[in-house]
Structures are given as structure tokens and as C-alpha cells.
Amino acid sequence: MEAFRDAILQMIKASKEELAVFLDLCHLKTFSKNEIALQPGTIPQEVLFIKSGLIRVIITDRDGNEHTIHFAMENQFITDYSSFILQQPALYSMQALETTEVVVLPRKAIEWGYKNLHEGEKMGRLVAEFYFIYQDNRIKNIYSRSPKERYEAITEVFPNIHQRVPQHMIASYLGITPVHLSRLKKSER
């Protein structure tokens, strides 16, 4: 749980005691490769903190096509956060692309934290702000850069992604077809 504790202490000050109680409300879990970490349609009851591995976030459109929305990697929190906050059925689905070890933060633990950690609400604010900024960046990129430019810049957001994720999933993340991405790479040379 070391990296997880550090991630919290990077955001807020917390005494050993209160932190110990909080950590005690969480537990570890391991997803095997290709395992589904969140089933769409279910109401998310937990946030995951990734210790190792990689989770792909997917949305399925009306025609049944899957679109890759996000890759969650080491030291990131991940869930269908909107659905978690609103306690509504998830639209996203999440799939472990590698064997993935996570810390599970059940909703009860998080609510306990908001109320009982001295800076619990602040931690919630900082997490929400952090992921807001991430989303905002994506929107900036989508509006102001071409798929090709976004491809060239992708390692800024996801280092190692080319070693860890098949190219057609990257294409899906960029919002283009695998065939077209292959073409863009060719034209670049």
C-alpha cells in the first residue's frame, strides 16, 4: 500500500492514526489479463487505485462499437467517476489489459474519509480537480489538434503506451480507425 499512502500524503496532511483507519477500510485486489474490472450498467461502488498494470476504459455506442476513452496506469485512480458520484449505472466498461494489482476504495471508505479525515473534503476536491484538468486537456486537444498531432503527442500523456497497448486501441483512443492510423504513420516517414 506504500504508493497509495504516498499518493494521499501528496495531496493532504494526515496523521498516522487516521490514515491507518482509512487504509484499513480499503483492500487489495488483482485482475488477471483481459478481466473486466467494471461491468457497464452496474452502479460503481468503488474507486480503484492502480498499483501495477493497466486498465482500458471503453464506451460502447448505440451500434455496438467500442471506443477507447482512457488508459489508466500505475498510481492513478480509476472508476466511472461520474456514475460513481451520481450513483447511476455505469456507461463505461473497464478491462485490464495486463495483470493489474489495485487498491480498492469502497464507497463507504471514501465517505468515511470525507467526514473523518481532517482534510478529507480537500482530498476529494483535489482528486476531482485533478481529473477535471485531465478531461479539460483532452477536450483542448480534441478541438485544437488533428488526430495526427495527437498521435505524435500521445506519449506525453501515456508513456510506454506503444510497448503496452496494441495499436488499434490507440487508434480507437484517437477516434480514428486502425487502418487510418497505419496510414498516418506511413505519411509521417
Site string for a second copy, 55-74 (x = CB under 8 A): ----xxxx----x-x-----
Nearest to 73 by CA among 155, 142, 136, 139: 155
**Is residue 140 at the binding interface for a second copy, with CB under 8 A as the rule?**
yes
Determine how β-strand 92-96 pairs with β-strand 66-72.
Answer: unpaired
**Is residue 13 at the binding interface for DNA, with CB under 7 A as the rule?**
no
Nearest to 146 by CA among 116, 110, 174: 174
Alpha-carbon distances of 72 from 22, 67, 159, 188, rounded to whole Å: 23, 15, 11, 28
**Is residue 18 at the binding interface for a second copy, with CB under 8 A as the rule?**
no
**Which residues from 156-175 bind DNA, rule CB under 7 A?**
166-168, 175
**Is residue 185 at the binding interface for DNA, with CB under 7 A as the rule?**
yes
Cβ pair 117, 123 in contact under 8 A:
yes
Give me the residues that bind a second copy (CB under 8 A), please.
59-62, 67, 69, 81-82, 85-86, 91, 114, 119, 121-122, 124-125, 128-129, 131-133, 135-140, 142-145, 175
